[in-house]
Structure 1
Amino acid sequence: MATHPTGSSEEPQVDPVAESVAVYSDHADDYETTHATKMSERVEQFASSLPRPSLILDAGCGPGRDLAWFNAHGHIARGVDLNPDFVAMANRHAPTSQCDLRKVGSRFPAGTFDGVWAAASLVHLSESDTMEVLDQFARLLRPGGRLYVCLKSSGQTGWLDEVDGRRWYTVWDAETFAGTVANAGFEVDQVDRGVFVEVWATLSR
């Protein structure tokens, strides 16, 4: 697990993931409003890639925007998120439980889902944690299951002071991340490059 010292070597270390995710609670309603209309085309593309109805895990669902959209597209959505305020908000749209994505593989039986959707939800994880979570996603998917995941690919890895709080981000090179997805057992179908690298993939094992 990635850690970041808060001071001297004798002080306890904090978990950047937990600390970063907790910050969202300070402006949860504003976050929901700000991001309410984003990603709709990508959600539709992912929803259209699966037979209806399919069971989709929104891994790191935030306040539940995409859960509602997947349901509207005729699918069955389930959410998990580490932030308890987001979990409460997301439960208005679909069943959602509090879960650290680094332990998501133990939350559901293997082969439960037809699709895993991880929209900017791994951005606070270290590289090693991200690799492990991708392996867990692969175990949770049925054969031929679909994956969408996007991560930051611009800026620098480390703590970032933003308008609504301070968070840790891990920045990935697009090719490196696509290769990491492939190494987790996926066939990479599409890579979109930009401020975020977006990978669309199919479970190949």
Structure 2
Amino acid sequence: MHDHRTPAAPSFDPAAASVAVYSEHAAAYEAAHAAKMAEKTGRFAESLPVPSLILDAGCGPGRDLARFTAHGHLARGVDLNPVFVEMASAHAPTSRCDLRSLAARFPAATFDGIWAAASLVHLQDHETVDVLGQFARLLRPGGKLYACLKSTGSTGWLDEPDGRRWYTVWEPEAFAEAVGAAGFAVEEVERGVFVEVWATRNG
């Protein structure tokens, strides 16, 4: 029998097990995704006065940290994967942190913007709802949020060329409603393989 108290057991914590998989192919992951999201990050950067303090929540190897810094912002990164944290630290101050305990890491109303690009994909739906609430607590009133996650396929384990990961799939309307319920005014919802939500912190 499996000891379900062991954090490495996928049945115990799918998110941690999924994030750990990225370590072995971190450089290849960075190269494969280097050119993506440039337009989106530019739009987010331009929606905030310069300089603003932006948290890249689940920053991966740091691609978007470098972009926000290039736009004149103060960027901070957090990621659960230690290899990604080391890589991202070359672009901006980055620390290892589980998004599910993010609010314990920073004081309330610390950030002007929170960028969560595909960083919620490995969480259970109730965990995502909780993290959205933490995002609201960490943003100043009027602060900006961008968040996207998978809206196609099936929730569960997916065997990919570089490893096995858990994905939770959301209906676009359900995710937009969750963002709104967390304390945000939802401004735009983009639907596709990923559902993308642009929102502003109420208050």
Fold shared by both chains (TM-score > 0.5): yes
Q: CA deviation at 1:14?
A: 2.6
Q: So what's the TM-score if we normalise by structure 1?
A: 0.95
Q: How does 1:79-158 map to 2 (within 5 A)?
A: 79-158=77-156
Q: CA deviation at 1:163?
A: 0.6
Identity of aligned residues (%): 69
After superposition, the CA RMSD in angstroms is: 0.8
Q: CA deviation at 1:81?
A: 0.1
Task: Work out which of the residue numbers 27, 30, 50 in structure 2 matches 1:29.
Answer: 27
Matched, 1:169 2:167: yes
Whole-angstrom CA distance in 1 between matches of 2:113 and 2:197: 13
Q: CA deviation at 1:137?
A: 0.3
Which amino acid is the alignment partner of residue 138 of structure 1?
A
Q: CA deviation at 1:11?
A: 3.3
Matched, 1:43 2:41: yes
**Unpaired runs of at least 5, structure 1:** 1-7
Q: So what's the TM-score if we normalise by structure 2?
A: 0.96
Which amino acid is the alignment partner of residue 164 of structure 2?
R
Instruction: Report SS of the residue matched to 1:17.
Output: helix
C-alpha distance after superposition, 1:66-121 (max 9, x if no partner): 00000001100000000000000000000000000000011000000000000000
Q: CA deviation at 1:19?
A: 0.3
Whole-angstrom CA distance in 1 between matches of 2:202 and 2:134: 14
Task: Work out which of the residue numbers 74, 77, 83 in structure 2 matches 1:76.
Answer: 74
Stretches of 4+ aligned residues off by more than 6 angstroms = none
Q: CA deviation at 1:123?
A: 0.1
C-alpha distance after superposition, 1:36-66 (max 9, x if no partner): 0100000000001000000000000000000
- Residue in 2 that maps onto 1:11: 3
Q: CA deviation at 1:148?
A: 0.1
Whole-angstrom CA distance in 1 between matches of 2:3 and 2:112: 44
Whole-angstrom CA distance in 1 between matches of 2:169 and 2:90: 32
